[in-house]
Amino acid sequence: MSYSYNPDFDYDKELSIDVDTNIDFDTDITLDVYKDVNVDVDVCTNVEGNSAFLVADVEAIGTDTFVEVDASVLAVEDQLSSVTLAGQAVVG
Protein backbone atom coordinates (compact mmCIF):
# COMPACT_ATOMS: atom_id res chain seq x y z
CA MET A 1 0.00 0.00 0.00
CA SER A 2 1.41 3.37 -0.93
CA TYR A 3 0.47 6.78 0.33
CA SER A 4 1.39 10.04 -1.30
CA TYR A 5 1.04 13.47 0.18
CA ASN A 6 0.61 16.48 -2.07
CA PRO A 7 1.28 19.73 -0.18
CA ASP A 8 -0.02 21.77 -3.15
CA PHE A 9 -3.58 20.61 -2.59
CA ASP A 10 -5.79 23.07 -0.70
CA TYR A 11 -9.33 22.38 0.40
CA ASP A 12 -11.65 24.91 1.99
CA LYS A 13 -15.21 24.32 3.04
CA GLU A 14 -17.47 26.85 4.70
CA LEU A 15 -20.73 25.76 6.31
CA SER A 16 -23.39 28.12 7.52
CA ILE A 17 -26.30 26.35 9.20
CA ASP A 18 -29.20 27.97 11.02
CA VAL A 19 -31.68 25.72 12.79
CA ASP A 20 -34.83 27.14 14.34
CA THR A 21 -37.29 24.54 15.62
CA ASN A 22 -40.34 24.62 17.78
CA ILE A 23 -41.58 21.13 18.60
CA ASP A 24 -44.72 20.77 20.68
CA PHE A 25 -45.62 17.17 21.40
CA ASP A 26 -48.65 16.61 23.59
CA THR A 27 -50.44 13.31 23.81
CA ASP A 28 -53.05 11.66 25.95
CA ILE A 29 -53.39 7.89 25.61
CA THR A 30 -56.01 5.77 27.30
CA LEU A 31 -55.81 2.04 26.74
CA ASP A 32 -58.32 -0.39 28.18
CA VAL A 33 -57.79 -4.06 27.41
CA TYR A 34 -60.09 -6.86 28.47
CA LYS A 35 -59.16 -10.29 27.28
CA ASP A 36 -61.03 -13.47 28.14
CA VAL A 37 -59.79 -16.40 26.10
CA ASN A 38 -61.12 -19.88 26.60
CA VAL A 39 -60.11 -22.17 23.78
CA ASP A 40 -60.81 -25.86 23.57
CA VAL A 41 -59.67 -27.35 20.29
CA ASP A 42 -60.00 -31.02 19.56
CA VAL A 43 -59.04 -32.06 16.06
CA CYS A 44 -59.09 -35.67 15.12
CA THR A 45 -58.54 -36.63 11.51
CA ASN A 46 -58.51 -40.04 10.03
CA VAL A 47 -58.26 -39.74 6.28
CA GLU A 48 -58.58 -42.96 4.39
CA GLY A 49 -58.40 -43.02 0.64
CA ASN A 50 -57.75 -40.01 -1.53
CA SER A 51 -59.10 -36.48 -1.28
CA ALA A 52 -58.75 -33.44 -3.49
CA PHE A 53 -59.99 -29.99 -2.52
CA LEU A 54 -59.90 -26.68 -4.37
CA VAL A 55 -60.84 -23.15 -3.34
CA ALA A 56 -60.10 -20.36 -5.81
CA ASP A 57 -61.02 -16.77 -6.50
CA VAL A 58 -60.14 -15.15 -9.82
CA GLU A 59 -61.19 -11.52 -10.05
CA ALA A 60 -60.53 -8.65 -12.45
CA ILE A 61 -61.55 -5.12 -11.51
CA GLY A 62 -60.92 -1.97 -13.52
CA THR A 63 -60.38 -0.90 -17.08
CA ASP A 64 -58.63 -3.22 -19.56
CA THR A 65 -57.81 -5.86 -16.95
CA PHE A 66 -56.88 -9.50 -17.50
CA VAL A 67 -56.27 -12.22 -14.90
CA GLU A 68 -55.27 -15.80 -15.60
CA VAL A 69 -54.61 -18.67 -13.16
CA ASP A 70 -53.25 -22.11 -13.97
CA ALA A 71 -52.69 -24.69 -11.23
CA SER A 72 -52.22 -28.41 -10.93
CA VAL A 73 -51.79 -30.61 -7.86
CA LEU A 74 -51.11 -34.34 -7.94
CA ALA A 75 -50.70 -36.79 -5.05
CA VAL A 76 -50.16 -40.49 -5.58
CA GLU A 77 -49.58 -42.43 -2.32
CA ASP A 78 -52.59 -44.71 -2.45
CA GLN A 79 -53.01 -43.99 -6.15
CA LEU A 80 -54.03 -40.44 -6.91
CA SER A 81 -55.69 -37.28 -5.78
CA SER A 82 -55.75 -34.47 -8.30
CA VAL A 83 -56.76 -30.81 -8.48
CA THR A 84 -56.66 -28.89 -11.74
CA LEU A 85 -57.60 -25.24 -12.12
CA ALA A 86 -57.73 -22.88 -15.07
CA GLY A 87 -59.38 -19.52 -14.59
CA GLN A 88 -59.68 -16.28 -16.48
CA ALA A 89 -61.34 -12.97 -15.73
CA VAL A 90 -61.45 -10.21 -18.32
CA VAL A 91 -62.77 -6.64 -18.03
CA GLY A 92 -62.88 -4.18 -20.92
The domain limits of the chain are 19-92
What pLDDT is recorded for position 7?
A: 65
Residue type, 45: T
**How confident is the model at residue 1, as a pLDDT?**
56
pLDDT at 11: 62
Residues (pLDDT < 70) of the chain are: 1-11
The pLDDT of residue 59 is 77
**pLDDT the model gives residue 72:** 84
**Contacting residues for 41 by C-beta, under 8 A, at least 6 apart:** none
Distance from C-alpha of 63 to C-alpha of 9, rounded to nearest angstrom: 62
